[in-house]
Copies of this chain bind each other. A is one copy, B any other.
Amino acid sequence: MVKGYSSGERQGGTDSLQQPLWEVLVCDAVGEVIEFWGFKRNHGRVWALLYVRQVPMTAAEIQEALELSKGAVSMISRDLEQWDVVRRVRLPGEGIWNFVAEVDFLPMIRRVMREREGALVKRVAQELEDAERMARGHEDVNDETLERLARMRSLARMIEHAMELFLKTSQLDIKKTDDVL
């Protein structure tokens, strides 16, 4: 789950000797967590950078700070934007896009989980149903087996519900966290 990145040569950037170490640590830490949750490490790194900087950043600045390619920044920020954890703004007077972070990245986790889990749950539920129907067609399938298939289906539903509950709970918790701070 921990991947190494060779981070070759950036396309045209010069090394940012200004990048404070603690900022790198934060970005990488968030990257790790985000990766654990099934996203790309760089989704977390880009969001974290924008979050700690608090200032709108251009694609070029992100690219340099995190040592990413031009294309990567484009794709990553498109994803983050779609998930509503990053906003694209146009600074007054500038003819260039800048990115700013929304205050929490849970919408990202929540939304994409819903999408992915949703599609999966539907397909698997269908497959289990099909299997159960097939099994009922056979005479040599005993009752205990049928019961186990039914239990498996209900287990799937249970996971689905627990998931929803988790998502709802985390939503509540972040609100509470906001109040406290």
Q: Chain A residues in contact with chain B, CB under 8 A?
A: 1, 20-23, 25-26, 28-30, 32-33, 36, 38, 48, 51-52, 54, 104, 116-117, 120, 123-124, 127-128, 130-132, 134-135, 138, 144-145, 147-152, 154-156, 158-159, 161-163, 165-166, 169-170, 173-174, 177, 180-181
Would you give the shortest CB distance from A18 to chain B, in whole angstroms?
11
Would you give the shortest CB distance from A155 to chain B, in whole angstroms?
7
The residue in chain B whose Cβ has the minimal distance to the Cβ of A36 is B120
Majority SS at the chain A contact face: helix
Q: Are B52 and A148 in contact (CB under 8 A)?
A: yes
Q: Are B145 and A52 in contact (CB under 8 A)?
A: yes
Give Cα distance in the complex from A54 to B146, angstroms. 11
Give Cα distance in the complex from A40 to B130, angstroms. 24
Residue from B116, B132, B134, B135 within 8 A of A1 (CB atoms): B116
- The contact sample of 21 A-B pairs, CB cut-off 8 A, is A20-B134, A20-B135, A22-B131, A22-B132, A22-B135, A25-B127, A25-B134, A26-B128, A29-B127, A30-B152, A33-B120, A36-B116, A38-B38, A48-B152, A52-B149, A154-B181, A155-B174, A158-B177, A162-B169, A162-B170, A163-B166
